[in-house]
Amino acid sequence: MSRELPTVARWLLDRFGIPHRNEPLMGDLVEEYASSRSAFWFWRQTATAILTTVVRDIRNHKLLALRAIATGWLLMLAWALVAQLIRPPSWSYGLNWNRWQLFELFQTVSMVLCPTIIGCIVASTHKAQQGAMVLVYVVSLLIHQTADILLHYSEINRWAERLSVVGCLVIFILIGGFLSNPSRPFQSKA
């Protein structure tokens, strides 16, 4: 009787391209799990394989990592510029209430849509190492936001708001990046 691999773990392995880049490892994981290993063991092996792959991808493809960071930041900058261009002037708040409502709707929708699209574009422009490149961009974003928070530590009352915005950005970038199709999904032969 063969056991089915944990679905989410298998999905993550696919997103990082591990089944096709290290077939012997995948074969061993499938065989060991089918024989009697626990789901916890499989998850630990999955996390180790992903971490090893990400570090190797970044080390072996430094220019691609820089390109992924630049791509993500340029797209983020374009998003910010569009938001600034359509923002109504502050003096018109009472006069042009409908325009302000439209702008607030745009901000809400773009808070989900734009980071998801950015993650998808970063992943799709770096197909062979898409998981690692999305993660390296997210780490650059987290480093920037951490430095910004530390530089403005006196504004402690805004930390919760800023952390929630950064959390949303990271989550939707990862969703966009990981929902981008991998080159070939893994099919277990067990």
For residue range 126-152, list pLDDT tens digits in order.
888 888 999 999 999 999 888 887 787
Is 60 exceeded by the pLDDT of residue 47?
yes
pLDDT of 190 above 50: no
42 lies in the same domain as 134: no
Question: What is the domain range of residue 27?
Answer: 7-59
Separation of alpha carbons 68 and 82, rounded Å: 21
Tell me the per-residue pLDDT of 89-122, one tens digit each, with 9 for 90 and over.
665 556 666 666 777 787 788 888 899 999 999 9
| 46 touches 16 (CB < 8 A) | no
d(CA 12, CA 174): 12
The reply to whether 102 and 156 lie within a common domain is yes
Are residues 126 and 109 located together in one domain of the fold?
A: yes
